[in-house]
Structure 1
C-alpha cells in the first residue's frame, strides 16, 4: 500500500511538472535537447514519456559523445557571437550590427535542434553546449541591456537569479545520481522569445516608424518570454524535488567469486 501511494504521489508531482509519469523502475533513455520511452527509442520528432522517478536526467546520456557535427558547429557559431554582440552593444554602440549578430544567434538556436533531429546527430556534448550557450547569451544580453538602460535592472536580477538558482541545484542532482536538467520545449520557447525580444527592444531605440513599431512589439515579446522563462524555472525546481524524492538506483557490486570458482569448474 505504501509503494502504491508513493507511486501515486510521484505521478501527481510529475503531472504538475509537465512530465508524463511511467514505471519508476524502468530504464531511462532520452534524445538530445528534449525530454523517452521505456523500452523503445522514441521517434526523433516527438519526445516519449520520462519515468516519474527519473524526471531529471541528461537527455543525451545515451547518445554518442560526438564533437564535430553540424548542430554543434551551429552552437559554436552562436557562442562565438556572444563577445562580438557585447562589444558592438557597449563599445561602439553599433546597434544595427548588434541586432544582426543577435538575430543570427536566435536563428542558430532554433536551427541546431532541427538539424539534429533531421540528421540524427545527437550528442551529449551538443546538448550541454546548446544549453550552456543559451544561458550565456541570455546573461550577457541582459547585463548589456541593463547597462544601456534598455531593460530595467530589476528584470535583469529576476532572470539572472532564476538561472543562478537552477545552477545551484546541479550539485544536488549529481548527488542524487542525475545529470543536468533535461531541456524542454517550454524552455526552448522561452529562450526563443527572449532572443527575439532583445533585438526588437534594441530596434525600438531607432528614431523612425520602424522604431515606433518595435517599441510596441518588444515589450510584449519580453513579457511573454520572461513569463515562460520563470515558469520553466518552476518546472525545473519540481524536477529537482522529484529527483530528491526518487534518487537514481546505485549499481550494486556483485560479490567476488571464490578462488577457482569459474564457469568451467561449475559445469565440470
Structure 2
C-alpha cells in the first residue's frame, strides 16, 4: 500500500521535448489543455515557425500578442545618433506611451539630449582555491596574463574587447570580474562565451601548477550583478552608461508638463529621501516599465 509520503515512481514530462515542429507544438498544447483544464484558445495559432526558434525557447507551445505604441519623437544630439527618434513600447499599461511622449516632447523642444560615456558588460567567474594563500597567488598570476586573456577573447569574438580584469578575493574564493566592450553585439551572450573561453584556457594552463590550480570553478559567481539590481552597478555601470543634460524653460514646463520648475524640484527631493530611507539602488521614479516595454518591442 502506498503511504501518504510515498513518491511517484515516475514524473510527468512535457511531450515532444527537443522537437521544433508544428506537430510537437500542438502535442504540447493539447497536453497543457488536459493538464490545466483551460481552453487556451489564444495559443491555438501562431505566426512563428517552430523550427526558427531552435536555441531561443524550449517546449514551444505558441505566442502572445502585445500591443505596441510609438513614444516620441525624442531629439538626440549625440555623437552617433542625431535627429528625432521614436521608440516602440510594448505594453498594456495605459498612459505609459503618452507619459513617455510628453517627456520626449518637452526635452525635444528644449534642444534634445544625450551622450554615451561608455559601454560595459561583465561576467564574474569564481574560483575555489585550496586556501587563502593559493587564492592570493592566483590573483597575482592573473594580473600578469592580460595579453594572454585578450588573445583568448579574440579566438571566439571579433567584436568583444576586454577592458578590465578585476579580481576580488573573498577568503579562499577568488571572484574575477571580466569587463568587456562589445560594440553593437549581443553583450551578455558574447561576454559569457568570451569568459568561458578564458576559463577553459586557464584550466589547461594551470593543470600542472599545484600551487595555483583552483579546486573548483563556476562561470558566474554573482559579483557581476547579472539581471539583478545591485549597489555596485550604480557607480561601476553595467551596459551602456549615458549622461544627458537638457535645460527646460519655465514656459515649456508650464505648457507641456502643466507644472512649475519649483514643484518638480520639490517633488524630486521628496522621492530621493524616500529612496534613501528604503535603501533603493537609484531613485528613478518610473523607468523599469519603460525599459521593459522597449525590450519586449525589439524585433
Q: TM-score, normalised by structure 1?
A: 0.21
User: Which structure has the highest strand share of the two?
Assistant: 2
Name which one, 1 or 2, has greater alpha-carbon Rg. Answer: 2
* Higher relative contact order, structure no. (Cα contacts within 8 Å, ≥ 6 residues apart): 1
Q: TM-score, normalised by structure 2?
A: 0.19
User: Which structure has the highest helix share of the two?
Assistant: 1
